[in-house]
């Protein structure tokens, strides 16, 4: 399931809804991305997440489909926020549920790695020197790249 | 053709969304980029380094040689930084 | 932080408390283990988790310490329940927070792998044929083993 | 010496916890296991396959040659299955 929203989310309630009644699930791996107050040397006051409505949902649904093809997953949830977020706020939740924990871990990591290089979101940081668009990181490309070697 | 710009591409060009009718010979994404660069200094500056320009046609990533039709929604944006 | 308890836990509240005020955290990886209603061919009505009070807390604290030595972690939480649990109930929560997501993922997986082979818990399943002690799995030993190759 | 048994070892031996005073020559974990096997059929059966017996002394895992003192807390249990 994919959700792109401005509002915050409750991780406990989301995971509960995701797994309720599915008693074949042995493990749920989740990743939550938070806004940090530093990025490299820069202090960050807040950031604004811009996205491409429509394409975002399509890309996330494609990524979810790819994960379901690769691993035996009982449930998948991706929630990504947009708008202005302050340090400590939640940006993204990725959760995967499977009978076995290794599939849940691998799929969760695959989803966040791919999301970071495919989903059309852009971060504008508020710094003491003014607003600054975040550069894409080579480390994110490398993280996504390892999933293409399979 | 509908054009969308995001993030610092949008900021440098100064337009979020526009409808254009490029000449019939603009048949690929690469040709469109060249044509856009000629529309003014904001475009030329924003699109000068194609290595940091990503293109989606009808909300799917495409390469430089992707063909274009008048009904397409074409989005130009920098590498993504979400998550 | 380590907790061994009979009661259920609220994942959202636990993760919120774990990360609150720590604005250097960029990502939180968590794993939740749930009681399944099948194990191999057997249908499971419920299970009872027995443990060794005292040694459990020591082993979990040792495992947490080892993870903190290996990865730059801002926060670690392990909650493990004991007593009788029915299918769908939460057994264990492992959460790791770090500035960077790869450290959080690796440390979380390390913790659950080591916990499964080191923490003194034993599962007694209720099956249609009567109660049955769960056997240790070779796959769990292998999963833990990979962390000793570093 | 305090002895603790867990899981199916406890169930087969029929004791969760006991205080024992083994002879002075029982100086290691391996010697203690041999001595315990001689205490009755429940012990012999539960401890017959040492490959599925884990031992902790004072709440730390130890090997078969670990030395024992009268003040030790010794726990015997099967391979763990939590998580």
Asked if A31 and C109 come within 8 Å (Cβ–Cβ), the reply is no
Sort residue B60 into left (φ over 0), alpha (ψ -120 to 50) or beta: beta
* D81 touches C: beta carbon within 8 Å: yes
Residue C11 forms part of a structural domain: yes
Interior angle at CA D65, CA D63 and CA D67, nearest 5: 105
Which pLDDT value is given to residue C46? 95
Report the DSSP pairing between strands D60-61 and A38-39: unpaired
Length of chain A measured in residues? 150
Output the CA angle C116-C117-C122, nearest 5 degrees.
70
What is the reported pLDDT for C150? 54
For B26-75, what is each residue's pLDDT tens digit? Answer: 999 999 999 999 999 999 999 999 999 999 999 999 999 999 999 999 99
How near does any CA of chain C get to the CA of A127, in Å?
15
Q: How far is CA A41 from CA A122, C40, D59, in A?
A: 20, 52, 45
Which of C32, C37, C88, C105 to mutate against chain A (most A CBs within 10 Å)? C32
Neighbours of B48 (CB within 10 A): 11
Looking up tokens 């916890």 gives D17
| pTM of the predicted model as reported, rounded to 2 decimal places | 0.95
User: Do D and B count as touching (3 or more CB pairs closer than 8 A)?
Assistant: no
Q: Which has the closest alpha carbon to C27: C94, C104, C93, C95?
A: C104
Q: What parts of chain C have a pLDDT lower than 50?
A: none
Going by pLDDT thresholds of 50, 70 and 90, the confidence category of residue A150 is low
Q: Is C35 helix (H, G, I), strand (E, B) or coil?
A: coil
Q: How many domains would you assign to chain A?
A: 1
Is residue A139 a part of any domain in this protein? yes
Please name which of A75, A63, A89 lies closest in space to residue A6, comparing C-alpha atoms: A89
Report how far residue A121's alpha carbon sits from residue A64's, in angstroms, rounded to the nearest whole number: 17
In chain D, % of residues over pLDDT 70: 100
Write out pLDDT tens, residues D39-78: 999 999 999 999 999 999 999 999 999 999 999 999 999 9
* Count of CB atoms situated within 10 Å of the CB of C110: 22
Average pLDDT over residues B12-32: 96
C-beta atoms of A33 and B83 within 8 A: yes
Res. A39: pLDDT tops 90: no
Residue A24 has pLDDT above 70, yes or no: yes
Work out whether strand B54-57 and strand B60-61 pair parallel, antiparallel, or are unpaired: antiparallel
In a domain, A150, yes or no: no
Interface size, chain A vs chain B, as Cβ–Cβ contacts under 8 Å: 74
HSE (side-chain half, CA atoms, 13 Å) at D16: 4
Domain, as residue range, for C103 = 2-144
In a mutational test of the A interface, the residue from C26, C46, C97, C102 whose CB has the highest number of chain A CBs within 10 Å is C26
Report the 10 Å Cβ neighbour count for A72: 11
Domains of chain B from N-terminus onward: 2-77 (3.10.20.30)
The pLDDT value recorded for residue A44 is 87
Beta-carbon separation of B78 and A92 below 8 A: no
- Domain membership flag for residue C149: no
What token pair was written down for D13? 């031996």
How close, in Å, is residue A54 to chain C by CA atoms?
26
Structure confidence at residue D1 (pLDDT)? 97
- Based on its alpha-carbon atoms, the radius of gyration of chain A, rounded to whole angstroms, reads 16
pLDDT tier at D32 (50, 70, 90 boundaries)? very high
In order of A37, A117, A145, A146, C101, the CA distances from A139 in angstroms are 20, 10, 10, 11, 11
Domain CATH code at residue A116: 3.90.1170.40
């Amino acid at each position: 399931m994919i959700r792109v929203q401005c509002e915050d989310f409750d991780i406990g309630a989301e995971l509960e809804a995701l797994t309720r009644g599915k008693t074949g699930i042995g493990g749920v791996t989740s990743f939550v991305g938070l806004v940090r107050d530093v990025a490299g040397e820069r202090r960050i006051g807040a950031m604004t997440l811009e996205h491409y409505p429509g394409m975002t949902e399509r890309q996330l649904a494609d990524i979810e489909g790819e994960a379901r093809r690769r691993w035996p997953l009982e449930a998948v949830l991706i929630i990504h926020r947009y708008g202005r977020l302050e340090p400590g706020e939640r940006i993204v939740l990725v959760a995967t549920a499977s009978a076995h924990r290794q599939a849940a871990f691998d799929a969760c990591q695959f989803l966040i790695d791919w999301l970071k290089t495919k989903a059309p979101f852009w971060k504008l940081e508020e710094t003491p020197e003014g607003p600054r668009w975040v550069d894409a990181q080579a480390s994110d490309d490398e993280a996504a790249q390892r999933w293409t070697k399979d | 053709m509908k054009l969308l710009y995001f993030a610092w591409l949008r900021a440098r060009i100064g337009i979020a969304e526009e409808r254009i009718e490029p000449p019939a010979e603009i048949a690929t994404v690469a040709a469109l980029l060249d044509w856009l660069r000629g529309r003014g200094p904001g475009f030329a500056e924003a699109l000068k380094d194609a290595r940091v320009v990503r293109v989606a046609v009808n909300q799917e990533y495409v390469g430089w040689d992707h063909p274009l039709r008048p009904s397409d929604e074409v989005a130009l944006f920098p590498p993504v930084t979400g998550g």
